[in-house]
A and B are shown apart, each in its own frame.
Chain A
Amino acid sequence: RKEVEQDPGPFNVPEGATVAFNCTYSNSASQSFFWYRQDCRKEPKLLMSVYSSGNEDGRFTAQLNRASQYISLLIRDSKLSDSATYLCVVYRGGSYIPTFGRGTSLIVHP
């Protein structure tokens, strides 16, 4: 099993839709989790950290399920500009060494 797994997609959704991605991780000792956004041929940019109690930033909601070892990202009211690849990042247990998922591609169409 890979350390961090994501469905590569693509997820094709219309503007205004709600879409959710999951990311599973294998190391139960992992403590830190993040969602990044990467546009084509660009560097990843931090979207949000994922906290144990779940957290929300505008249209974006991140949640952590430790029992099932996954994190999720929910995007409400999708915009065309949300089209990108969404990467989940998990720090190896007890460290700050990042492991990336392969990313989930989102395409929002008019």
Chain B
Amino acid sequence: GAVVSQHPSRVICKSGTSVKIECRSLDFQATTMFWYRQFPKQSLMLMATSNEGSKATYEQGVEKDKFLINHASLTLSTLTVTSAHPEDSSFYICSASLAVSNQPQHFGDGTRLSIL
């Protein structure tokens, strides 16, 4: 089945640091990837849609200058949390699928970000 790899799985860093998270589709080409955030005991919230070769589409309320998304190839999207603060601590997950409406999303393992 489709495999999506996400790295790193865990990040602990000081406030003010920028953190980059990578999401790779290993066995298929993903023109679109999605980035989510999940706080404890809450639902998965879509942050943005990452489009290969063009600008990401951000959901309402998500700061595009805070969460930089780059999708430079068909197999890699990156999310950079700039100048992270403790309130940015969360579980960040990416997903990818074949860009067809009846295909399910395949998720990366997630990145647990803790800002001290």
- Listed in ascending order, the chain A residues whose CB lies under 8 Å from chain B are 31-32, 34, 38, 41-46, 49, 87, 89, 91, 94-103
B contact residues around A99 at 8 Å (CB):
46
Question: Is A100 within 8 A of B106, CB to CB?
Answer: no
Contact of B43 among A49, A95, A101 (CB under 8 A): A101
Q: List 18 A-B contacts (CB under 8 A).
A: A31-B102, A34-B104, A34-B105, A41-B91, A42-B109, A42-B110, A43-B107, A44-B44, A46-B105, A49-B104, A95-B101, A96-B97, A96-B101, A97-B34, A97-B46, A100-B45, A101-B43, A102-B43
Task: Check if B49 sits within 8 Å of A97, measured CB to CB.
Answer: yes
Within 8 Å CB of A43, what residues of B? 6, 93, 107-110
Q: How many A-B residue pairs have CB under 8 A?
A: 57
Chain A residues contacting B44 (CB-CB under 8 Å) are 38, 44, 87, 100
Chain A at the B interface: mostly helix, strand, loop or mixed?
Answer: loop
Q: Do the beta carbons of A96 and B112 come within 8 Å of each other?
A: no
Residue of A nearest to B91 (CB): A41
